[in-house]
Structure 1
Amino acid sequence: MSGDPSKASLWADADVYIADDLTTANPADVATAYSSEWGLVGLLNGEDGFEEGRDEDKSDHYAWGGILIRTSRKNFKMTKKFTALEDNDVVRGLVYPGSTATEIVVPRHGPKKVSFEVRDGARTERLFTRRYAEVDSIATIKDSEDALKKFEVTLAIYPDANGVLFDRQSTDEVAP
């Protein structure tokens, strides 16, 4: 067999943390706990995992004779999707921002600092939005007698001026 099976990832557990204040400090390293400024989304649907979407405009440029000479790319967009299973304050802040315990209002989504953490035994990886994320979409929410209520949240990830999307902390020394 070629390759290194220890470098294949099958994560046993995960969490999403949300901070409304974009200046909230990241934990110092992967072994440091999150501060109280970070809110925990709670139970996540592990089968759905974290889906990463990438979109960009691509144009191929050809010379006479149909020879491809260059490809240009622009307008890159990254999204991260997860499914929350808890109906708690943090999830409601994503799904129904501006609402209260007695009123649900039209959502006006704003920037959030977000951290995605995955764990498997002693292995841990954390991604922190470098600039911020904003809710891109919320899938249909279904109340039912035979299925859990789910909140499928898709976040658009906004990079900084240098194109950096995430700060990464990991117990692995290998770059992604």
Structure 2
Amino acid sequence: MHIREAASERHVLTVTVDNEAGILAKIAGMFTARGYNIESLTVADISEDHATSRITIVTVSPPAVIDQIIAQLDRLVAVHRVADLTELGPHVERELALIKVAGVGEHRIEALRLADIFRARPVDTSTNSFVFEISGSVEKINQFIALMREVGLVEVARTGVVAMTRGAVAG
């Protein structure tokens, strides 16, 4: 008899770490060594003295694996705090993307119309292309990219997810 595997779930983890060389490599190496996939990874300095960084990791795994990931991250010396925003409750997620679209005539007009609907703004313009900046949920950006494919998508650059708990409590 086969034991049914637990369904994988998407989780957003935030990891507060010392801002020093090699920390990100250790964390990424831990994921790689155990065969865990990282869907999105962002890192930024978050303290005035540049001593602390915040890493936001989006991963999809069964709950037991998420628990293992959190426990393993907690054991790393340079890690100050690990939070699973998915488990903590309501949180805000955003991503930024730059999307290059080429086209003339009706395709150009349609690209501008769609950008307006999605509140994407042109940050570079030429006679035959645009670079749009868009921020929002992963789903919003995915939908915008899908529509831009139909009017001349050339290139996409994405930042990865940043996230924070709602309310006054830190996540």
Same fold? TM cut 0.5: no
TM range (shorter): under 0.3
Query: Which structure: greater helix fraction?
Result: 2
Normalising to structure 1: TM-score of the pair?
0.25
Normalising to structure 2: TM-score of the pair?
0.26
